[in-house]
Amino acid sequence: MKTSDVIVIGGGLAGLMAACVAASRKQTVTVLTYGSGSLPLASGAIDFGALKNLPNHHPYKKIGSQAIDAAAKFFVDIASQANLPYVGGVGKKIPVVTAVGTLKFSALVPESMDATRLADKKKIFVVAVNGLKDFYAPMLADNLKKYFPDKIFETAKIDLHMLGGRDITCMDAAQLLTENEQPLANELKTLNATADDAIILPPIFGVAGNFSRSTVQTQIRAEILETTCLPPSPPGIRLQRAFMKFLQNSGVRVYENCKVTRGIADGKKITGVVVENVVREKIFPTRKVILATGGFYSGGIQMRDFDNPHEPIFDLPVFFPTGAENWSNVELFSDEPQGFATTGIFTNDRLNPVDADGKVMFDNVHVVGANLGGVDKIFERSAGGIAIASAYKGAIS
């Protein structure tokens, strides 16, 4: 097998972003994934969290502001090429309507979810789809009224007559609307909404870019907005497909269901990775590795014994807040970060993994995304931002 310039291990947001950046630099890239990645669970919006007054071990301090800004621009460009326009930028706060009617503010938001103009509307229609689970228009409207008390709200239910009456998910509806959007357009026309109004729907406008929404929007005078939803998330899958389309057009080899078991080391360099195979192991030679296997939730970091976390492929040192009292807060939902969530790998400024003394373990391995330690990404609301920014930095280092 030919030697790749870059092997990316992991098919989540960080892994696909890193592969796209490397491919854009005319490098030969191989992606090895095990599982479907994190994007089907994601809302599609990207949060960066705070970027100032951070401790020196924080991933953003290693990445640097220049790479963070460049990553955001690259991300928006990739999405745009797949007709998936995004709005916002680093430091921006774009409102998004959640499935329960609260407003969530994110830095980068799919255009179909941008609720910035809701404040200018006279009437807001909240539309449910007959048979669709986990979307309750009256509850959403009641909660959203708290943000817009001067607006007129109206709820409605439409029937797309697509699935024979059984319960459906947002993903079911989105897949069907990818093939035929006209039933939805016809139903929305019956609302008689004007250009001064808005229509809020669950995220069902297809699974490929913004084509479905564009087709319907041209027939409806009111602005149509999508909310977030429970997984599987059509906006997250649209983003996953945007990345995959770029990789395919760039000639990147993507191997799915590949479990990487270990690396082949030559001193401080990894010359290849070993993939578990039914018959025999397979070696993928490489000049550089980007590790994007995630944290605890995806198995990128494992811990069989308390206080002894383990990175299973390269046996990299993993930072961990020692002592049971530092593992978690008394309250799960508190105003302080959770200790266990900071578990991860520490790096130098090139995102090479380092040990407790700051010594580089492998100078051609770059750690990105949820593998990075020292920060509670959920508490900071920085998981997406760290994912794309570290992926960019790892790919260009």
Domain boundaries along the sequence of the chain: 6-85+250-396, 99-227
pLDDT for the residue 164? 67
Q: In whole angstroms, what is the distance from residue 43 CA to residue 96 CA? A: 10
Closest of 63, 70, 74 to residue 390, by C-alpha: 63
Q: In whole angstroms, what is the distance from residue 206 CA to residue 212 CA? A: 6
8 A C-beta contact, residue 61 and residue 54: yes
Closest of 121, 293, 288, 112 to residue 216, by C-alpha: 112
8 A C-beta contact, residue 343 and residue 376: no
Q: In whole angstroms, what is the distance from residue 124 CA to residue 117 CA? A: 11
2: DSSP letter: P
8 A C-beta contact, residue 209 and residue 238: yes
- Torsion sign (Cα): 392, 54, 380, 228: negative
pLDDT for the residue 335? 79
Q: Look up the pTM and report it.
A: 0.96
Same fold? 6-85+250-396, 99-227: no
Q: In whole angstroms, what is the distance from residue 295 CA to residue 287 CA? A: 24
**Which contiguous run of DSSP H or E holds residue 141?**
helix 137-144
Q: For residue 201, report the phi and psi dihedrals to the nearest 5 degrees.
A: -130, 160
Which residues lie across from 275 on neighbouring strands? 260, 282
pLDDT in tens, the chain (397 residues): 799 999 999 999 999 999 999 999 999 999 999 988 889 999 999 999 999 999 999 999 999 999 999 999 999 999 999 999 999 999 999 999 999 999 999 999 999 999 999 999 999 999 999 999 889 999 999 999 999 999 999 999 999 887 666 788 999 999 988 888 999 999 999 999 999 999 999 999 999 888 889 999 999 999 999 999 999 999 999 999 999 999 999 999 999 999 999 999 999 999 999 999 777 899 999 999 999 999 988 899 998 777 789 899 999 999 988 777 778 887 767 778 888 889 999 999 999 999 999 999 999 999 999 999 999 999 999 999 999 999 999 999 9
pLDDT for the residue 308? 83
pLDDT for the residue 330? 76
Reported as half-sphere exposure (CB side, CA atoms, 13 A), residue 159 has a value of 5
Q: How many residues does the chain have?
A: 397
pLDDT for the residue 327? 80
Q: In whole angstroms, what is the distance from residue 235 CA to residue 304 CA? A: 35
Q: In whole angstroms, what is the distance from residue 16 CA to residue 309 CA? A: 25
- Torsion sign (Cα): 22, 302, 330, 323: negative
Q: Thinking of the domain 99-227, which architecture would CATH place it in?
A: 3-Layer(aba) Sandwich (3.40)
Q: What's the CATH number for 6-85+250-396?
A: 3.50.50.60
